[in-house]
């Protein structure tokens, strides 16, 4: 068994690479303490429910933060409306924080005693690149909040992303089930072959098995690379298909070449690119405009697939390894050098800024190792399957990622217990029985899990229909009859002793929602329907009204 690193550069002979032996993990240092969640905000409510969990913004201090807040103002208004008109909390932070400072800010500012749990947002969207809002803050908040980040090299990127989210959330969803697309870049290396064997192939099989018993709501589950190398054109063709979809890719991520990047701009443009089976890398411009997972979510498993930090979680361990070890040398060469700033990778930036691209990207912001899915020879695909299942069921992106990050909290707790056991045995004169390699493997898993981040608004979700009833097209004469036709089938199935709401009652509920006479939850509760159904009524009512108004203006003209 070896520890594989999913990192490559253009001049490397990957086929000859060997992974790290497990014995090297004995050099792994003791980790810093990880703050475990103290609460789950409103744990009695659905975590996907914005009015209960709330949504907030985190921006850098100064003029740059002011500009970023202005760029996402339409999104802020949308989220404020979605949470029943409750104001969106906005936090301003310094651009430099270490782990201790970030943890202190979380305790003293974000969790200030005078802020009620009801008003503290569980969904947080960070604005700016890693040199503007530190990665350390995102990692500190992600232990119990749903955190995402928007970072683009230009104002146009922010504007395009916000417009895309508003567009997807402003139209009626037609598809009830999502597409699942798995892709392994089969380049012949032990890392990608291991990843396919113990992560991708078992995940595909498990999703299909669950699909047969209605435990995995997917319209289609497709694997690319199951029989060998698949060219980029095939991946892009499948990713361009319309309809809500999730793409899971496993590949090497592009790192620093042996002689270094020729210019700083090349590092920002290319580090983290997905390596293809033919040795080429997928550049950002390839995903900038062509349809690529429109309205979907992309999970990219590779080194630096989401970005590059100021300091790697593995620097102190890699420096303890023999200088002759190619894995240690390759890992250290890829890490930031003195004076280089951290950054979000260009590839996910391009995908998110693409009007026909995904709504969220999940990836790695450091070196990515096989320990994420391989526990000393035993595959652990279930943690990723639960993430995919949450997305397929319509969970928001931040909630879906939290199903994976819960293993970070579990691993941190287990590590703390083992170190505490060691100290107690030393104190009382007992012998220490914990296997140092097994404990160091836990350390690797913890470091690796802590480096998954979400790019995009954590409140986005796949555009899936909330129910199976298809909207009826309004007729030219009576929009109320169209509304009645839409609502009727949903409630005729109720027991005969419980009649469904009339069109007039439904219209009254919609007007109460539009004029904010009560919270959306209270209105839905008064009608005896789910909140999602009330919001569907509202959307249909708006669309029917627009069509009627257009016909009126046309007839007048």
Cα 233 from Cα 251, distance rounded (Å): 16
Apex 248 CA angle, 245 and 253, nearest 5: 135
Domain residues of the chain, as ranges? Answer: 47-150, 177-322+339-464, 503-555
Evaluate whether 47-150 and 177-322+339-464 have a shared fold: yes
The H-assigned helical ranges of 358-502 are 382-392, 397-427, 436-450, 479-492
Tokens of 146: 């749903």
C-alpha to C-alpha distance for 492 and 479, rounded to whole angstroms: 20
Maximum separation of any 2 CA atoms in the chain, in Å: 94
Per-residue pLDDT of the chain (557 residues), as tens digits, is 667 778 887 666 554 456 665 556 555 555 554 444 444 456 667 899 999 999 999 999 999 999 999 999 999 999 999 998 999 999 999 998 888 888 899 989 998 877 777 789 999 999 999 999 999 999 999 988 999 999 999 999 999 999 999 999 988 888 889 999 999 999 989 889 999 999 999 999 999 999 988 888 888 999 998 888 999 999 999 999 988 999 999 999 999 887 888 898 999 999 999 999 999 999 999 999 999 999 999 999 999 999 999 888 888 777 777 766 776 777 777 777 778 899 999 999 999 999 999 999 999 999 998 877 877 666 778 889 999 999 999 999 999 999 988 877 777 777 777 777 777 777 777 666 777 777 777 888 888 888 999 999 999 999 998 532 333 233 333 344 444 444 443 333 333 333 456 666 777 788 777 766 676 767 877 887 777 677 777 767 776 666 666 665 665 55
CA distances (Å), 305 to each of 32, 108, 333, 406, in order? 24, 32, 17, 21
What pLDDT, on the 0 to 100 scale, is given for residue 70? 97
Q: Give the C-alpha distances (Å, rounded to integers) separating 168 from 70, 164, 294, 357, 528.
A: 21, 6, 10, 11, 27
Distance CA(31)–CA(446), nearest Å, equals: 9
Cα–Cα distance for residue pair 456/189, rounded to 1 Å: 31
Helix, strand, or coil here: 327? Answer: helix
- In CATH terms, is domain 177-322+339-464 a member of 2.60.40? no
Q: Minimal CA–CA distance to 304: which of 510, 63, 8?
A: 8
- Between strands 297-301 and 245-250, the pairing is parallel
The CATH number of 47-150, from 3.30.160, 3.40.50, 3.30.420, 2.40.50, is: 3.40.50
Nearest by Cα to 373 from 201, 230, 210, 208? 201
H helix runs in 170-302, sequence order: 190-195, 201-212, 232-239, 264-270
């Amino acid at each position: 068994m070896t520890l594989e690193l999913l990192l490559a550069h253009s001049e490397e002979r990957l086929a000859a690479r060997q992974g790290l032996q497990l014995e090297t993990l004995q050099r792994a240092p003791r980790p810093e303490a990880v703050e475990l969640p103290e609460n789950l905000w409103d744990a009695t409510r659905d975590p996907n429910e914005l009015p209960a969990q709330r949504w907030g913004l985190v921006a850098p201090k100064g003029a740059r933060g002011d500009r970023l807040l202005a760029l996402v103002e339409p999104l802020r208004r949308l989220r404020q409306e979605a949470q029943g008109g409750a104001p969106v909390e906005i936090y301003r932070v310094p651009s430099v924080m270490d782990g201790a400072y970030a943890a202190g800010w979380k305790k003293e500012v974000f969790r200030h005693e005078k802020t009620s749990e009801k008003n503290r947002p569980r969904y947080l969207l960070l604005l700016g690149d890693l040199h503007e809002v530190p990665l350390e803050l995102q990692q500190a908040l992600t232990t119990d909040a749903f955190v995402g980040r928007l970072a683009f090299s230009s104002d146009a990127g922010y504007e395009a992303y916000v417009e895309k989210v508003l567009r997807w959330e402003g139209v009626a969803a037609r598809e009830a089930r999502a597409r699942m697309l798995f892709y392994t870049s089969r380049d012949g290396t032990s890392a990608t072959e291991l990843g396919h064997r113990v992560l991708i192939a078992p995940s595909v099989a498990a999703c299909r098995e669950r699909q047969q018993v209605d435990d995995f709501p997917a319209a289609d589950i497709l694997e690319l690379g199951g029989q060998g190398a698949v060219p980029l054109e095939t991946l892009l063709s499948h990713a361009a298909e319309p309809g809500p979809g999730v793409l899971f890719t496993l590949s090497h991520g592009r790192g620093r070449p042996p002689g270094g990047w020729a210019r700083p701009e090349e590092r920002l443009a290319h580090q983290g690119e997905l390596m293809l089976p033919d040795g080429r890398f997928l550049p950002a411009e390839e995903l900038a405009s062509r349809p690529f997972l429109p309205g979907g979510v992309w999970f990219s498993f590779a080194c630096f697939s989401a970005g590059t930090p100021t300091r790697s979680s593995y620097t102190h361990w890699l420096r303890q390894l023999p200088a002759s070890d190619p894995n240690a040398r390759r890992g250290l060469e890829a890490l930031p050098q003195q004076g280089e700033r951290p950054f979000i990778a260009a590839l996910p930036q391009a995908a998110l800024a693409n009007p026909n691209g995904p709504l969220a990207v999940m990836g790695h912001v450091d070196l990515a190792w096989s320990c994420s899915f391989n526990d000393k020879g035993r595959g652990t695909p279930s943690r990723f399957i639960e993430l995919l299942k949450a997305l397929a069921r319509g969970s928001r992106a931040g909630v879906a990622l939290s199903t994976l990050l819960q293993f970070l909290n579990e691993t941190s707790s287990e590590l703390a217990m083992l170190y505490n056991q060691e100290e107690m045995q030393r104190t009382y004169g007992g012998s220490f029985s914990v296997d140092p390699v097994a404990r160091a493997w836990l350390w690797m898993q913890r470091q690796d899990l802590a480096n998954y981040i979400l790019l995009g608004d954590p409140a986005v979700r796949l555009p899936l229909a909330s129910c199976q009833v298809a909207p009826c097209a309004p007729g030219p004469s009576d929009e109320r009859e169209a509304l009645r036709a839409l609502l009727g089938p949903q409630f005729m199935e109720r027991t005969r002793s419980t009649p469904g709401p009339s069109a007039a009652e439904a219209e009254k509920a919609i007007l109460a929602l539009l004029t904010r006479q009560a919270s959306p939850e209270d209105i839905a509760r008064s009608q005896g329907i789910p909140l999602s159904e009330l919001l569907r009524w509202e959307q249909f009512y708006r669309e029917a009204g627009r069509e009627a108004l257009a016909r009126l203006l046309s007839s007048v003209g």
